[in-house]
Amino acid sequence: MPVMTGKEALVRMLIAEGVEYIFGNPGTSETPMMDALQDFSHIKYIQALQEGTAVGMADGYARATGRPAFANIHIAGGLANGISALYNAYRGGTPVVLTAGNSDTRMLLSEPTLSGDLVEMTRQYTKWSHEIHHPADVPGAVRRAFKEARTPPTGPVFLSFPWDTMDEQADIDVTPGGPGYFRTRPDRDALAQASQLLAQAENPVIVVGDRIAQSGGMEQMIQVAERLGAKVFAASFSEVNFPTSHPLWSGMLNTSSPVTRRLLSGADVVLAVGANVFSSFLYVDVPLLDPESKLVHLDSASREVEKVYPTEVGLLADPATGLAELADALEQDMSAPAKEAAATRMAELAERRRRAQDEYRQRLQQRWDNSPIAVERMMHELAAAVPPGTIVADEAITSRPALMQEFDFDEPGSLYGIQGGALGWAMPGALGLKLAQPDRPVLAVVGDGASMYTVQALWTAATFNIPVVYAICNNRAYRILKVNMDIYLKRMLNDDERVSEYTGMDFANALDLAAVAQALGVASEKITDPAQIGPAARRMFDSGKPGLLDISIDGSL
Ligand SMILES: Cc1ncc(C[n+]2csc(CCOP(=O)(O)OP(=O)(O)O)c2C)c(N)n1
Ligand SMILES: [Mg+2]
């Protein structure tokens, strides 16, 4: 085996694993690796100005390629900045290989500056977290990190490289990991049982989650849903698991609201696929699933199956493969009257959907000329202006429902949203999406508050000319916090009298994102007239450069 330094082994392993980009923010503890990179032009270093931005870009890139992304940030102080984005990757199952340099192990006794137990810091938000202690371990550790990240359920991993493991030499064998074989099939008996139950259901309901999109299983999901004539709800979601213009699409469940129980009650069988059943934010004092409903759960994440609710049938399998087999089994098991009933349900749901859309159109018309701009109008103008094939990065927060009304997300990979809830994903995440899909336009729709957590992503967009168009929903508030304050007072405390002062939830000085963008090198326009949105968006998409629309919208409750 050739003798080489740990830092050379690291870079050679990254090339062997197919890494194109390093998303990073360096410090002195990364010096050996940064030095080694200079000798290899295969890998581009995308410089971020804050660690959350580096990890956010890696997240977007990994999600849009379906492959692990590599990020490198700086020892304890920098790593702490990146943990918010790491948390999102962990909750959403993004395969990010996060790394950081650490102090030379020969000086640990003195508790060096910026040093810390990096493995301990990241353990709870990673599938695997490890510090390398010998240069010969570099290839094995990198191989294992990539393998862990890409094995479903996918997720982030962390590796720490102490300085001396980078500079010392060893006999090193640079061999990348194998492709992995993840199309696991469901247990045969469980599949038969699930199919029997669903074939006889009179009011089946489906709940979809992101592990469908991650397995490339949307088409198979459509087949099962159509066969059953079942409403399809999304548990909290951030990818396209089901086409949003399909007649069976019934929107997202608000799992922080007791209303969800009403939406699901009456279902004799609930089929959950690739979803967490359920993960919510606010405490709800009723179980969201009616005890009368039988739960069938198909998932690649074993820990999510039978996690909270009693489960009639659990199917551990790759969602795409499991759904294809379930669709075949249903074709056999459903009687002719059951198939007819399913077709009738589907026709009724299509009619219900048309009515809901008519109501939405009326609301849009009523608010068409509002000043400040109604969020529905903002999204309407954007939807009309985006080029075909646009990918949307969503961190629109309370502007999201209007976004979902105005845009159809029917193709896999046309929408990626913040996952995990730690603000600051979309500003850098959209850059990762664009680097992964350079031929597709990318629009990031971001709340004014959310944009500020990683706003320095705009500098990276300008410096590396990554042409993402940002649309800021500038409502001069953390509006969601006000909405939730009202829910707290009225629903949770049953207090209709108390009037909140919404402390810390308004921006007394409106955030001037257009000025921030210009200061960081990104062209921008400030918009107060809705008729300007479309032309401005088109100009920005045509420019081939990053741009930002700072759109002033109505923030009232
Ligand atoms: C890192 C992080 N800090 C704070 C929060 C709490 N938080 C959740 S939503 C929100 C406000 C979002 O405001 P904005 O992006 O303007 O959207 P709006 O509610 O106005 O639609 C805040 C502060 C969080 N989720 N993550
Ligand atoms: Mg806001």
Indicate if ligand 1 lies below 6 Å from the C-beta of 426. no
- CATH fold, domain 188-353, is Rossmann fold (3.40.50)
* Ligand 1 atom having least distance to the Cα of 398: 21
Q: Which residue matches tokens 């081939």?
A: 544
Distance 375 CA to ligand 2 centre (A): 11
Indicate if ligand 1 lies below 6 Å from the C-beta of 475. yes
Indicate if ligand 1 lies below 6 Å from the C-beta of 423. yes
Distance 94 CA to ligand 2 centre (A): 26
Distance 247 CA to ligand 2 centre (A): 32
| CB-based contacts of 271, cutoff 8 Å, min separation 6 | 194, 198, 204, 205, 206, 207, 224, 228, 230, 296, 297, 298
Distance 360 CA to ligand 1 centre (A): 26
User: Letter for the amino acid at 464?
Assistant: F
Distance 481 CA to ligand 2 centre (A): 9
| CB-based contacts of 355, cutoff 8 Å, min separation 6 | none
pTM, two decimals, is: 0.97
| CB-based contacts of 109, cutoff 8 Å, min separation 6 | none
- Are the C-beta atoms of residues 505 and 477 closer than 8 Å to each other? yes
- What pLDDT was estimated at residue 280? 87
| Local structure of 536: helix, strand or coil | helix
- Residue ranges in the chain modelled with pLDDT below 50: none
Indicate if ligand 1 lies below 6 Å from the C-beta of 244. no
- What pLDDT was estimated at residue 236? 81
User: Letter for the amino acid at 300?
Assistant: S
Q: Give the number of other Cβ atoms within 10 Å of residue 552's Cβ.
A: 21
Report the largest interatomic distance among the alpha carbons of the chain, rounded to a whole angstrom: 76
Ligand nearest to the CA of 403: 1
* Ligand 1 atom having least distance to the Cα of 400: 21
Class of domain 3-171: alpha beta
- What pLDDT was estimated at residue 554? 98
Taking domain 369-476+511-552, whether its CATH number is 3.40.50.970 is answered by yes
Cis (ω within 30 of 0) for the bond into 32? no
Indicate if ligand 1 lies below 6 Å from the C-beta of 372. no
- What pLDDT was estimated at residue 353? 92
Distance 507 CA to ligand 2 centre (A): 9
User: Letter for the amino acid at 532?
Assistant: Q
- What pLDDT was estimated at residue 455? 98
- What pLDDT was estimated at residue 1? 80
Which residues of the chain are in CATH 3.40.50.970 domains? Answer: 3-171, 369-476+511-552
Ligand nearest to the CA of 400: 1
Q: How many CA atoms lie within 13 A of 474 on its CB side?
A: 21
d(CA 211, CA 277): 13
Indicate if ligand 1 lies below 6 Å from the C-beta of 422. yes
Q: Which residue matches tokens 């492959």?
A: 67
